Amino acid sequence: MSERDSEVAPVSTSDPLALTERWEDIVTDDRNRWTETGGDEGFWATHADEYDRRFVGKPVGLSRICSLVGPSDTVLEIGPGTGRYTRPLARRVSKVTAIEASSSMATTLDRNLTSANCRENVEIVEEEWPTADTDGHDWVVAGWSLYRQPDLRACMDQIIETANQGFVIIDSPGSLPPHRRIAVRAGDALASPPPRQAFYCGLLADRGRYPSVETEPKTRERRADSRTALVENLLSDALNDPLAHAEALDPWLHQEPDATDGTWCYRYTVPAAVISYVDDASGQPPMNVTGESQAATVEVGR
C-alpha cells in the first residue's frame, strides 16, 4: 500500500459510499445553521410572506407528481411551506397531510389554502418530520425540505415505510445560482451546495430502491426598489463588500416598468432534480414525464 493510499479514510462496510457521514457534516456545517434551535424558524419567520414571489411558473416536478397521484390517494407532504405543491395536490387527491415545522410557514399555508378554496382535505400538522406521528400514505412528497435531516439514512427509511405507492423528492442537483457562483469566485468557500440528488439516490439504491431522476429548469426571481438594494440583498450574506461585485450580476438584473412590488428584478434559471420512485408492487410502471414538461429523463440503475 502506498503512503497516499494509507491516508484515505477506510470505507465503512455498512455505508459503502460514506454518504450518511458526509451528509451529516454538510447539515451540521451549514452556514444557515438549520440544526440550531430557532435557526430555520427564524429564517422562515422573515421570509414566509414573500416566499411565493420568488418563483416563476409551475413548481418543478409538479407534472411528475400529478402524473402519479389519483383521486382516491392520500399524500404526506414533508415541509409544504406556503403550499406551492399542496394547493394543486389538494385538488387532485382525497387527503393531504402537510407536516410543517415552521409555525410562520404553517400560518401562511393555512391562509393560502383557505383563499385558494382547497383547505378542506388538508390536515396541517405543525411538527418536525419524521418525529410526527403519521400513518402510512399512498405517496410522500418532499419539495426542497430534507435539507436539515441530520440522519439521512433514517429519513429515507421513514419515507419508504410511509409511502405505500411511491414518493417524489425535489431538490438541488448541486448547481449554484449566479449570485452564489459570484460569491464563491469572490472567496466565499461556504457557498458550495451538496449535490443532494446523489445522496438521496445513493441511499435509496443501498435499500434496493432505484428511482427515476429527471432534470427540470427552475426559474426564480428577487425584486427590490433599487439595483443597490437588490445586489446587497443577494450578496451581503456572503461578502463584506457586495457592491464591489455588482457588475458581475448585470446579466441577470433588469428593470421592469410594470413591476408592482419593486423596480429592479434579478432572475435566473438553474436545473433542479425530480427524484421519483414508484413501488413495483403497486402495479404502476416507472413513467417519464409527458406533456408540458420538457424534462430530460435518466433512469438510474434499472
Ligand X SMILES: C[S@@+](CC[C@H](N)C(=O)[O-])C[C@H]1O[C@@H](n2cnc3c(N)ncnc32)[C@H](O)[C@@H]1O
What is the smallest separation between the CB atom of 26 and ligand X, expressed in angstroms?
15
Distance in Å, CB of 39 to ligand X, minimum: 11
User: Footprint of ligand X on residues 210-269 (CB under 6 A)?
Assistant: none
Residue 155 makes contact with ligand X by CB under 6 A: no
CA–CA dist 299, 282 (Å, integer): 19
Distance CA 211, CA 137 (A): 18
144 contacts ligand X (rule: CB under 6 A) = yes
d(CA 201, CA 274): 11
Choose between 229 and 270: whose C-beta lies nearer to ligand X.
270
DSSP conformation class of 284: P
Nearer to ligand X, 85 or 266 (CB): 85
CA distance 46 to 143: 20
d(CA 274, CA 172): 9
Closest C-alpha to 104, from 76, 124, 134, 89: 124
Give least dist CB 51 to ligand X, A.
7
Q: How many residues bind ligand X (CB under 6 A)?
A: 19
Q: From the list 23, 44, 200, 266, which residue makes contact with ligand X (rule: CB under 6 A)?
A: 44
With CA atoms as reference, report the closest residue to 89 among 108, 76, 104. Answer: 76
**Which set of grid coordinates corresponds to residue 95?**
387527503
* Shortest reach from residue 124's CB to ligand X, in Å: 11
> Is 148 a residue that touches ligand X (CB under 6 A)?
yes
Residues numbered 79-108 forming contacts with ligand X, rule: CB under 6 A: 79-81, 84-85, 99-102, 105
Could you tell me the CA-to-CA distances from 206 to 2, 24, 200, 251, 301 in Å, in that order? Answer: 30, 17, 10, 42, 12
Nearer to ligand X, 15 or 126 (CB): 126
Task: In angstroms, give the least distance from the CB of 288 to ligand X.
Answer: 22
Between CA 142 and CA 76 the distance in angstroms is 9
The mark string for 106-135 relative to ligand X (x by CB under 6 A, - otherwise) is ----------------------xx------
Q: How far is CA 114 from the centre of its chain?
A: 24
| Residue 131 or 228 having the CB closest to ligand X | 131
**What residues line the site for ligand X (CB under 6 A)?**
40, 44, 78-81, 84-85, 99-102, 105, 128-129, 143-145, 148
